[in-house]
Amino acid sequence: MKKIPAVLADRDAFIQSAPLPCFVLDRRGRIATCNTAAGDLLRTSPAALIGTSIDDVFQPAQVLYSLMRSRRKDLPAEEIQVKVFLPSGDKAPVTVRLQRLRTSSRRVYFQVWVHDDSAFHEMRKRLEQSEKLSAMAIVAGKVAHEIRTPLNSIFLNNDLLQERVEKMRGAQAQKLRRYVAILQEEVERLNEVVRSYLSLSRLAGGDREPTLTEDLLDDFIEEIRDEYRRHRISIATAFRARQREVMLNRRQFRRVMLNLFSNCRDAIKNGGVITVSTEDTADSFRITVSDTGEGIPPESLSRLTTPFTSLRANGSGLGLYLVREIVERHGGRIDIQSLQGEGTSVIITLPCGEA
Q: Cβ contacts of residue 276 below 8 Å, gap of 6+?
A: 217, 221, 235, 236, 237, 238, 287, 288, 289
Neighbouring C-alpha atoms within 13 Å toward the C-beta of 41: 27
The residue ranges of DSSP E strands in the chain, in sequence order, are 22-25, 31-34, 58-59, 78-85, 91-101, 109-116, 209-212, 233-239, 245-248, 272-280, 284-291, 333-339, 343-351
Q: What is the predicted pLDDT for the residue at 355?
A: 41
> Is residue 260 a contact partner of residue 276, using CB atoms and an 8 Å limit?
no
Extents of the domains making up the chain: 6-116, 122-202, 207-355
User: What pLDDT sits at residue 1?
Assistant: 46
Q: What number does CATH give the domain 6-116?
A: 3.30.450.20
Fold of 207-355: Heat Shock Protein 90 (3.30.565)
Between CA 312 and CA 82 the distance in angstroms is: 43
With H, G, I as helix, E, B as strand and everything else as coil, classify residue 4: coil
Q: How many angstroms separate the CA atoms of 355 and 353, rounded?
A: 6
Beta bridge partners of 111: 24, 99
Per-residue pLDDT tens over the stretch 111-149? 888 886 655 555 566 656 666 656 666 666 666 666 777
What integer pLDDT is reported at residue 69 of this predicted model? Answer: 80
**Cβ atoms of residues 312 and 335 within 8 Å:** no
Vertex 229 angle, CA 246 and 263, to 5°: 55
| Residues contacting 142, CB < 8 A, separation 6+ | 201
Q: Is 28 exposed, middle or buried (0-12, 13-18, 19+ CB in 10 A)?
A: exposed
- Give the pLDDT of residue 354: 46
User: What pLDDT is attached to residue 218?
Assistant: 92
Residue 246 and residue 285 in contact, taking contact as beta carbons nearer than 8 Å: yes
For residue 63, what pLDDT is reported?
84
**pLDDT value at position 77?**
63
Cα separation of 345 and 339, whole Å?
Answer: 9
The CATH number of 122-202 is 1.10.287
- Looking at residue 125, its pLDDT comes to 62
Low-confidence residues in the chain, pLDDT < 70: 1-7, 9-10, 71-78, 88, 102-105, 116-146, 193-206, 307-317, 353-355
